[in-house]
Each structure stands twice: as C-alpha cells, then as structure tokens.
Amino acid sequence: MNDSYKPKILAFLCNWCSYAGADLAGVSRIQYPPFIRVVRVMCSGRVDPLFIVNALKEGFDGVLVSGCHIGDCHYLEGNKYTVKRMEILAQLLDLSGIGRKRVHLRWASAAEAKPFADNVIEVSNIIKEAGPFNAKDHEMALNALTRALSTTRLRWLVGIDRHLTENENVYHEKTDPILFEKVKNDAITAEYQKALIQEALSKGPVTVREMADQTGIAIYTVSKRLNELELGGMADLKSCEGNTPRFASPV
C-alpha cells in the first residue's frame, strides 16, 4: 500500500474512558496517527452496528469503537452488550465480503494514554493495509447489512444472548451456549441472505436465477429464502413469462 495513503477512520469513544484517554494522550504529547475522526458517546454500548455501516456508506475506510475495560463500564454492563453487537457485525461483514478488518473494538481507560495511542496505531495500520474502501463497489452488500441489522430477529438475539446463556431460567436451567451460538449463526446467515434478496427484489421484477446471479446465493437457497419472504409479506409474485415467474418487493 502507498505510504502516502491516509485512511479515514471514524472513532466512537466512550466519554468516561477512551475519550479521556485520548485527551490525556494529547496533553502528554503522545503521538498517534492523525487518521481518526472522533464521535464522543456516553458508553460504547450506545454504538449501534447500524452507525458503523452508515460510516462505511459515508466514505470511511474503517471504524474504531473504544470503551472502558470489561468490569469498568459506568453503566455496569454496557460494554458487554458492545461485545455481542460487534461479534454479530463482524460475522455479517465477513459474509458480505467487506471483511471484519474494517471494524475494531478496543478498550482503554481514562488513565491509559499510551495504550489508547497504541490501539489507534494498531487499528490504523490494519485499515491502511486493507486499503481504501469504496462504498460504491459494495453498495448492495451495505444496503443488505442495514436491512439485516434492522431485523427484529437479529436485534432480539443480540439483546437476549447474555440473558439466556449467563442466567438461569425459572427451572434453574441455562441455555447451552453452543446451541445458542448455532441458532444465532443460522439466523445471521438467513437474515443476510434474505436482505440481499430483498435488495434484488427492490430493483424490479426478477427471476430466481437472476436473483441468484445478482446475490451470489445458490438457486436452491434463493428459492427457500424467497418462500420465507413471501410468507412474511416481503416478496410478491409479479408476472409469469412462460413457466418463469418474476418476483418483486410488495408495493
């Protein structure tokens, strides 16, 4: 990668720790690359993965989310939810072909000026190595990520994860984390595939084969997901050419 390339990185910094750490790094004259644009949030748990997808759509090459160490969150467990959200986002970024190396989660307390600077250096190098991010080349994938991350199913799963796997229910049973992980992974794949198909449907009446070509999903899987979308009222049969049906989004 060209040494003159300066990546644009959006950094969401928690007010109570990393933002203060960044401040201290400045006061202490600790150097780090000037590639980050800072958004101060009250807790890393405030960062919705949709904010990160929007940042990529708006032309950022990568995103850093930095908050208090686990156990030090001023809202007790906000950063534990951040971890869960970032895990789902990382899986979706891999599925989309954009890749998880564009988005990073790091911890740094208010007193950790040097670790904060080291985090920025490390993340900047990874994103620099990944090269410029062209949102136009990933338009369909980015729109599908927005759709998938907005679904009730994924938002519910990310919210309920810790509750189910760390707490006992009324029968003093815990949900098996391995089983929950499988359910979650299946849901992530299914919701992303449906979101991609919805993107194809939104461009006008399309056949199953055309949807498969546009999304890169196997024809059998397109048919299966299309059926689920039809049942949910999110896809309509529009016309038939001979024996070939064409589908589109409902009006």
Which residues contact ligand FES by CB under 6 A?
Answer: 14, 16-17, 43-45, 67-68, 73-75, 78-79
Q: Which is nearer to ligand FES, 57 or 80 (CB)?
A: 80
CA angle 99, 101, 106 (to 5 degrees): 135
Under 8 Å between Cβ of 63 and 84: no
Beta bridge partners of 100: none
Q: Which residue is nearest to ligand FES (CB)?
A: 67
Token reading at 224 = 């299966």
Comparing CB distances to ligand FES, the nearer of 19 and 133 is 19
| Rounded least distance, CB 72 to ligand FES, Å | 7
Residue closer to ligand FES by CB (options 47, 55) is: 47
Q: How far is CA 146 from CA 48, 84, 85, 96, in A?
A: 11, 17, 14, 11
Smaller CB separation from ligand FES, 20 or 201: 20
Task: Give me the least distance between CB of 83 and ligand FES, in Å please.
Answer: 10
Would you give the DSSP letter of residue 69? P
Pairing of strands 103-107, 244-248: unpaired
The nearest distance, CB 45 to ligand FES, in angstroms, is 6
CB of residue 32 to ligand FES, shortest distance in Å = 20
| CA–CA gap between residue 208 and residue 212 (Å, rounded) | 6
